[in-house]
Chains A and B, each alone.
Chain A
């Protein structure tokens, strides 16, 4: 049986009175990978950034509910710091801080106020191992994160998010700036990570959605066109638009 991790109910989002997301109703299932696909500018990124309230910085106005852990994360008095440690995020362009590799991974813990040095050390090593980066860089933990390759940087960003022990991981087109080999590595990584956490991934790459996800959500012009198990969405889509998008008739 799959358990619901996040439930979205009648969710609308506006930027400067322009409606960007319209009546989103959706369930994200625990320890599954949900892919969000759709053409550029359709609201994919806006939707994924709604799960950790990253749209706040662009003065988004919202209606409706997003229920996570029994609370509506759109509530005014929600503790955003706690929310964002529980729902981690990885961005399109690898964005490690220009600090050392170690500092990058330890960042979230230090923000949380963890002082225990040996605990942080352990956690850093574990997180780096979780993304298969540790063996590649164990001799230069204190080198700048900027010295890593793009693919390594992106895995470092995943490790940085994992160090917070999130329950959900949001990935906003995590491989669009990476070469095919690094992309493959990130995809394999997701396969392993979903044993432990719930993953939502926005992707431009339809084939990638097919490869990595259990559920696929197709949105178009700010509305959900189709949502279901990936197998079904890809083999027997209910909506004509979905079929056209997946087969590449438009995009």
Chain B
């Protein structure tokens, strides 16, 4: 009887794993099948033509790149410092509890709400217009809860023994964080930061009203330019325009490129982490 239970449980585990893997492939196969052709180099490096019916997605790739990089410039420092405050200082308690509750709540908020917030706050209130800067700030706010949480986890996983050793050697609290906790947690922190990049690159809703434009023949010139972005481009190709039979294939290709980009980002996170882990094991 016990054996049977054991077997049933194992079977159940394998089954659910299998379902996950199969659904992943069901999801990936059409994108790959319809998207991989003629990507390189024309599709990647040319501008869209004739509405959105021909040409490549170069400005969208550049736009997504800018949005992602700019948003990390805001979100990484703020996120890391907040995480340090929560995990290492943690006083006064009511403030930390408040921040933690806010983070948990924010991480459950649908991304379209962040988009609306970004619109009313950055675009309207601060008159930043629909621009690269408004979109990056909105994306930064969207990614903050995830960054704070994962960096906090990374810092919490630093063994107390290392911190005690640092203190016993004359470190102040700041020195302990700076010279021991952060370096020890670095591989994990780096991984979570890179993963957040992948997440931000694929977001559509937050940039719809704050940064993105459907069609542009130029690259963004300044922080106040509108930009094209791959996810929003896909959305536009599928929902708008006049010749879907030409647009849908482009949408597939764009989706393929976006997937590839995010996959590359995540893969680099894994590689970097493995590499650093090998050097510092405990």
Contacts and interface: CB of A to CB of B under 8 A. Distances in A.
B171 interface: yes
Contacts of B167: 54, 57, 84
A89 B281 contact: no
Contact of B168 (A93, A96, A99, A161): A161
B170 to A, nearest CB: 4
Given A91-B161, A111-B170, A157-B165, 4 more contacts: A54-B164, A85-B170, A144-B281, A146-B282
27 contacts: A54-B164, A54-B168, A57-B164, A80-B172, A81-B170, A84-B167, A84-B169, A84-B170, A85-B169, A85-B170, A88-B169, A91-B161, A91-B165, A95-B159, A95-B161, A95-B162, A95-B165, A97-B165, A97-B166, A97-B184, A98-B281, A107-B179, A111-B170, A111-B175, A144-B281, A160-B165, A164-B169
Contacts of A161: 168-169
Nearest to B159: A95
Nearest to B281: A146
A93 B169 CA distance: 16
Interface of B is mostly: helix
Given A98-B184, A144-B281, A81 B172 contact: yes
Contacts of B175: 111
Contacts of B93: none
Contacts of B164: 54, 57, 91, 95
Contacts of B171: 81, 111
Contacts of A80: 170, 172
Interface residues of B, number: 21
Interface string A150-177: 0000000100110010000000000000
Contact of B179 (A52, A98, A111): A111
A112 interface: yes
Interface in B175-206: 175, 179-180, 183-184
Contacts of B170: 80-82, 84-85, 108, 111-112, 164
Nearest 10 A/B pairs, CB to CB: A95-B161, A98-B280, A89-B168, A85-B170, A108-B169, A81-B170, A98-B282, A84-B170, A95-B165, A146-B282
B279 interface: yes
Contacts of A144: 279-281
B180 A97 contact: yes
A97 B168 contact: no
Count chain A CB atoms within 10 A of each CB in B170, B175, B183 and give the residue with the most: B170
Interface of B: 159, 161-162, 164-172, 175, 179-180, 183-184, 279-282
A164 B167 CA distance: 13
Contact of B169 (A98, A99, A146, A160): A160
Interface string A102-130: 00000110111000000000000000000
A82 B169 CA distance: 9
Contacts of B161: 91, 93, 95
Interface in A55-80: 57, 80
Contacts of A107: 166, 169, 179
A171 to B, nearest CB: 11
Count chain B CB atoms within 10 A of each CB in A54, A84, A157, A161 and give the residue with the most: A84
A105 B207 CA distance: 50
A54 B168 CA distance: 7
A84 B179 CA distance: 17
Nearest to B171: A111
Nearest to B169: A108
A112 B171 CA distance: 8
A84 B168 contact: yes
Contacts of A85: 169-170
A17 B167 CA distance: 25
Contacts of A157: 165
Nearest to B165: A95
B221 to A, nearest CB: 46
A201 B45 CA distance: 69
A98 B170 CA distance: 18
Contacts of B179: 107, 110-111
